[in-house]
A = this chain, B = another copy of it.
Amino acid sequence: MTTVDNGVNVQALLDAREVLRGAPEAAQFTWKASAKWENGVHSTATIKNFFGLGAEQSHKSETTFTADHPEVFAAEDHGITPIEYLLVGLASCLTAGVASVAQNRGIQLRSVESTVEGNHDIRGILGVDSDVRNGFNDVKVTFNIDADASKEEIEALVAQSQKRSAVYDALTNPTSVTVEVA
């Protein structure tokens, strides 16, 4: 018998599922970021703490992210654009899902790579045409997966990852976002 090890502790996740079934309040998480304007369209955002399992939690380390716009937007390109952060989130969410589902199904992964492309008509954000939306027109993710499994099994892994992906849902379905001045 071969032991499949993708590095995902699936038993802990299955156990958490059972515990949270009887304790929905513990499943209420709040993810937090704080951001600071630097200059121009350049800002930084810091992430450390979150709330979950009924208590304040924190990541092992605080991480700071830089966002800016490229020189073709007359900016200084200190970092990636805000909308590109959505692609990072999407790719990493689907990748984590593929690893988790593979572990649960006993499929050994050797490599998982993906490319994400977001098409964006910038006439929206520039106010050229109010019929053009501000966000992506559409997004395409393409996976290249090397695993001890058939093409059909690999496609099923990706489909199941998509079905349970937080970020895929956040992009494909509307979320209420309120913006206030303190």
Residues of A within 8 A of B (CB): 6-9, 12-13, 16-17, 20-21, 24, 27-37, 39-43, 45, 47, 50, 52-53, 57, 59-61, 63, 65, 67-75, 77, 79-96, 98-100, 109, 111-129, 133-145, 151, 154-155, 158-159, 162, 164-182
Q: Are B70 and A50 in contact (CB under 8 A)?
A: yes
Provide the main secondary structure of the chain A interface. Answer: mixed
Q: Are A117 and B178 in contact (CB under 8 A)?
A: no
A57-B72, A170-B86, A177-B139 known; A115 and B80 CB under 8 Å?
A: no
Bound state CA distance, A72 and B177, in angstroms? Answer: 26
Task: Count the copies.
Answer: 2
Bound state CA distance, A113 and B37, in angstroms? Answer: 6
Ordered by A's residue number, 15 sampled pairs between the chains whose C-beta atoms are within 8 Å are: A28-B119, A31-B118, A36-B113, A37-B99, A47-B88, A52-B72, A60-B71, A61-B77, A69-B96, A85-B92, A134-B166, A136-B166, A142-B181, A142-B182, A171-B177
Q: Are A16 and B126 in contact (CB under 8 A)?
A: yes
* Residues of B with C-beta under 8 A to A166: 82-83, 120, 124-125, 134-136
- Please provide the 10 A-B residue pairs with the shortest distance between their CB atoms, ordered closest to farther: A7-B40, A85-B89, A67-B92, A12-B74, A82-B93, A135-B170, A35-B91, A37-B112, A41-B96, A135-B169
